[in-house]
Amino acid sequence: MKWRWAASCWPTSNAVQPASREGQAPFYEPGLDDLLAKHTAAGNLRFTCSYAEAADFADVHVLAVGTPALPGSGGYDLAQLHAAVRRLAPGLNDGALIIGKSTVPVGASEALRTVLHRYSRPGADVRLVWSPEFLRGSCAVEGTLRPDRIVLGVAAGDTTSQAVFRAVHAQILDTGCPLLVTDPPTAELAKGAANAFLATKISFINAMAELCEAAGADVHQLVAVLGHDDRIGRRGMSPGLGFGGGCLPKDLHGFIARAEELGLGRAVSILREADAINLRRRERLVYLARELCGGGLSGRRIGVWSASFKPGTDDIRDSPALAVADALHRAAAEVTVHDPMAVGNARTAFPHLHYTGDPTDAATGAELLLHLTEWPEYREIDPAELHRRIATPTVIDGRGTLAVERWRSAGWTYRALGSP
């Protein structure tokens, strides 16, 4: 059986061309370029912008189309997804299977199934199942090859689709990866529910950070205490500036929007508060920066580490770090931003900020240094050496990952969200 991983670039082909021509992705993801180069050179992977060619080539199609937020509502915009199915359907071979991977609101696959059957060839046996991806930026290759679970949402009694799906994923399933077979609505809910829980867990500990700051307690010590309870767990409970990116905030808003459409707005009120807590962390960091600058930000020189929403990626979508940097700029501060990978994207989106390719340059002559994304490179910088370059040795550790005693012993005033 032939298998094609279909990553639609609807409505343009801009993302396909660089990968097709050079074996490189148009974004940074560790390990991805090596895989692209290896398999394009071997002829095992090729790219096309033709739906007809893709439909004729394969019996299995993986649909990984973006579902951006609808402006104003927070819901999912499924236009690209519907367009991809509509254009793929007429050329599908009899017996073809579409595996949906996109993050969608519950009920979306049933509507897509209607589109698929409306535009497919008369009498063609074509099927659609849903298998949400749970990938995380900066470790997506590992998450694809060695996932912690695979979810398959399939109609009751559809053993044919199950068999094809298992055959496609046989190499991964043979390693012991669990396959959880559900009905389609449960599979659609799985990704949004997972991200909603993660967002709530992060916002919970950041709410505790607010209490710690007011009470003189240390949220990082509190995390250590809570993490020993196996019902709670330490993983994912990282106090600091909060979450951002292209998935977690969007999926949180989309999950809330769909619940409200179903008349269950009260059931997700906790998620609205999780979102509010998350945004408050950015305001709190700006407030703390103003406090450490003597009550005013105008004309103050501030260095910012970094621009991406998390380490290991050049993704700046809803970056808490850039949101803080932009707020400081709007308060008339002079802001210089460094990032190991995302300076190019940041400069395009925020051209009014200053940028540098050297983290020490961001601190040189500054009156305040902000550590806002926990790239490992920043932990390796010698604070004693940096002390000689900064005008005022004061740092706000927005992620709580710098070695606090090392920085303080080097003469720095060290502050972290949720810590004394």
Options 9, 212, 247, 293, the catalytic residue? 247
Distance CA 96, CA 60 (A): 6
Are 286 and 331 a contacting pair, CB within 8 Å? yes
Residues 58 and 23: their CA atoms lie apart, in Å, by 21
Quick check: 405 and 379 in contact, CB under 8 A?
no
Residues 9, 15 contacting (CB under 8 angstroms): yes
For 126, residues 6+ apart whose C-beta sits below 8 A from its C-beta are: 89, 92, 94, 95, 96, 97, 98, 116, 117, 120
**What is the spatial distance between Cα 44 and Cα 281, in angstroms, rounded to a whole number?**
46
**H helices within 178-239, ranges in order?**
184-215, 219-227
Give the DSSP H or E segment for 32. Answer: helix 32-41
9 counts as catalytic: no
Residue 129: strand pairing partners: 99
Whether 241 contacts 398, CB under 8 Å? yes
Catalytic residue numbers read 247
